[in-house]
Amino acid sequence: MKKLILSVLLVLSPFTVQAAGHGGVELLHAPVNAQDKVSLQNGAKLFVSYCLGCHTAKYMRYERIASDLQIEPKLVQEYMMFTGDKLGEQMNTKTDPKDQAKWFGAAPPDLTLEARLRGADWVYSYLLGFYPDDKRPFGVNNHVFQDVAMPHVLADLEKQQKPEEFKQSVGDLVNFMAYMAEPIKAERERLGVFVLIFLGILMIPVWFLNKEYWKDVK
């Protein structure tokens, strides 16, 4: 029986070799760290400054950003909210996506879940992946997303900052987007530890109860 199980595992083992690389492009590794509040706060600031002009984040509430990222609600209202929304509202713009489709060719998608849809590494590589291309309407193309309709929005920031600094900024932005895609992530991991500890402790009486009852079998 053991020989049988071993031979089955042996036959299946070559299939554990998986080819790397998907869609052809090597992705950079995004520095996502849900615990780094400074990075998340910087990312939030960048997101509001550079992204919300065209994109929405319609599932993300300002108030949630304030409490999760430990920013004073007043500061959120002053520096992150420009359209007279209330703190509890979601990051929605008033632009009609149909108009945007006319102006840009494609309506800019909502970004709340983008980091989960594409993966944080993809978003990071994408934002760092713009290069000059005369044939495109905005003069740029992207290594990760061929013929994308989006301009290189972070071009100004890239000029203002040194390359390492710029990479750091984009990293913060992607970190924030990863947070936006699943705000509960840090909390669920924290709770998970307690759940497993609880089950570990529960196992002790359960195991010994079982042993005790089965003492008189056979």
Q: Name the residues that contact other proteins, by CB under 8 A.
A: 1, 4, 7-8, 11-12, 14-15, 17, 23, 59, 61, 64, 109, 112-113, 116-119, 181-184, 188-189, 191-193, 195-196, 199-200, 202-203, 206-207, 209-211, 213-214, 217-218
Task: Tell me whether residue 61 or residue 152 sits nearer to other proteins (CB atom).
Answer: 61
Answer positive or negative: Cα dihedral of 51, 28, 32, 181: positive
Q: How far is the CB of 19 from other proteins (least distance, A)?
A: 9
Distance, C-alpha 151 to centroid of its chain = 21
SS in 3 state form for 128-177?
Answer: CCEEECCCCCCCEEECCCCCCCCCCCCHHHHHHCCHHHHHHHHHHHHHHH
Task: Write down the least CB distance from residue 8 to other proteins, Å.
Answer: 5
**Rounded to the nearest whole angstrom, what is the least distance from the CB of residue 197 to other proteins in the complex?**
10
Alpha carbons 96 and 195: distance in angstroms, whole number: 45
Give the shortest CB-207-to-other proteins separation in angstroms.
6
Please tell me whether residue 32 adopts helix, strand or coil conformation: coil
CB nearer to other proteins: give 100 or 168: 100
Residue placing its CB nearer to other proteins in the complex, 24 or 163: 24
Nearer to other proteins, 38 or 217 (CB): 217
- Quote the least distance from Cβ 100 to other proteins, whole Å: 16
Give the residue with the Cβ less far from other proteins, 131 or 214.
214
- Separation in Å, CA 172 to CA 42, 73, 195, 206: 6, 20, 30, 46
Of 31 and 109, nearer to other proteins (C-beta) is 109
Residues 6+ apart with CB under 8 A from 60: 90, 91, 112, 180, 183
Distance (Å, whole) CA 118 – CA 115: 6
CB of 173 to other proteins, least distance (A): 19
